[in-house]
Amino acid sequence: MKLFVPFFVTLLALPFNGCAMVTSNLEEFINADGIYKIVTPENFNEKNKDKCINITSLDIKDGLIHASKNLEQIQYVLQKFFTQSTKVTIVALDKTSLEKAGFEVKEEKGFPHIYDSTKAFHIPFNTVKKIFYLIKEKNIWQIDNAIIRN
């Protein structure tokens, strides 16, 4: 079963080198020790069950899938890699499902890194627990909607 939660909540912007930030309003959905992949809309397709998340060129170059584990890391990644983006998708991944699908999750330098033994360069939909669609307006990241899967 999947629960669709449409909402449009303006999140406060905190100054950090002039970049927009997502604040604690997202904390109710973000676990302190989760696995979160941030991608642009072009790299996410929930209708393609086998290949819903296409790996970024940085992931391919580094030979691993970069992820975040908490709100602080999500904010850092948004500021560092998505300053020119106006839409992103944050996907919460299930570690057990990732491992069953042939992925290995390691924490390195404080961040979760996902290693894909299949080298298929995508993550299947059955590993996804939550999906957050964010948009940026006036340099403020906002939750456009969210999907929570059971």
Identify the band that residue 5 occupies on the pLDDT scale cut at 50, 70 and 90: very low
- Which comes out higher in pLDDT, residue 48 or 12? 48
The answer on pLDDT for 70 being more than 50 is yes
Report yes or no: 23 and 12 within 8 Å, Cβ to Cβ. Answer: yes
CA–CA separation, 146 and 99 (whole Å): 25
Could you tell me the residue range of the domain that residue 29 belongs to? 2-149
pLDDT at residue 84 in the model? 92
**For residues 110-119, average pLDDT:** 88
CA–CA separation, 124 and 86 (whole Å): 25
The answer on pLDDT for 43 being more than 70 is yes
CA–CA separation, 23 and 15 (whole Å): 11
CA–CA separation, 25 and 30 (whole Å): 10
pLDDT tens profile 16-31: 333 444 444 666 678 7
Q: Report in angstroms the alpha-carbon separations of 67 from 3, 14, 50, 71, 90.
A: 24, 22, 19, 12, 10
**For residues 78-106, average pLDDT:** 93
Sorted by sequence, the CB contacts under 8 Å of residue 62 that are 6+ apart come out as: none
pTM equals 0.79
**For residues 98-109, average pLDDT:** 94
Question: Residue 64 sits in a domain of what CATH number?
Answer: 3.20.170.20
63: left (phi over 0), alpha (psi -120 to 50) or beta: left
pLDDT at residue 8 in the model? 35
Report the mean per-residue pLDDT for the chain: 79
Identify the band that residue 68 occupies on the pLDDT scale cut at 50, 70 and 90: very high
- How many structural domains compose the chain? 1
